[in-house]
Copies of this chain bind each other. A is one copy, B any other.
Amino acid sequence: MDIKIVEVGPRDGLQNVSQFIPLDKKISFIKGLQKSGLTHLEVGAFVSPKWVPQMRDSLEICKQFNQYDNILALVPNQRGMDQYLEAQLKNVAFFTAASDTFNLKNTNKTFKDSLKVYEPLIQQAILDKSKIRMYISTAFYCPFDGKVSTKKVLEVVEDLLAFEIDEFSFGDTVGLATSNEVTDLINGLKKLMDISKINMHFHDTYGMALSNAAKSIELGVRSFDTSASGLGGCPYAPGASGNLATEDLVYFCENQGIQTGIDLDLLIEASQDIDNFLNRESSSKVKQAIINKG
A254 CB to nearest B CB, Å: 9
Mark contacts of A273-294 with chain B using CB atoms, 8 A cut-off: 1 yes-contact digit, 0 otherwise.
0000000010011101100110
Distance of A131 Cα from B252 Cα, bound (Å):
36
Cβ of A256: which chain B residues have Cβ within 8 Å of it?
A: 178-181
Cβ of A205: which chain B residues have Cβ within 8 Å of it?
A: 285, 289
A218 CB to nearest B CB, Å: 8
Cβ of A286: which chain B residues have Cβ within 8 Å of it?
A: 206-207
Closest residue to A175 on the B side, CB-wise? B289
Given known A-B contacts A176-B255, A251-B206, A252-B178, A288 and B211 have beta carbons under 8 A apart = no
Are A214 and B179 within 8 A (Cβ)? yes
A99 CB to nearest B CB, Å: 18
Contact of A214 among B214, B245, B284, B289 (CB under 8 A): B214
Question: Quick check: is A248 within 8 A (CB to CB) of the other chain?
Answer: yes
Distance of A176 Cα from B252 Cα, bound (Å):
9
Distance of A178 Cα from B248 Cα, bound (Å):
11
Question: Quick check: is A1 within 8 A (CB to CB) of the other chain?
Answer: no
Are A292 and B239 within 8 A (Cβ)? yes
A230 CB to nearest B CB, Å: 9
Cβ of A181: which chain B residues have Cβ within 8 Å of it?
A: 255-256
Question: Quick check: is A4 within 8 A (CB to CB) of the other chain?
Answer: no
A243 CB to nearest B CB, Å: 13
Question: Quick check: is A241 within 8 A (CB to CB) of the other chain?
Answer: yes
Question: Quick check: is A210 within 8 A (CB to CB) of the other chain?
Answer: yes
Residues of A within 8 A of B (CB): 175-176, 178-181, 204-208, 210-211, 214-215, 237-241, 245, 248, 251-252, 255-257, 281, 284-286, 288-289, 292-293
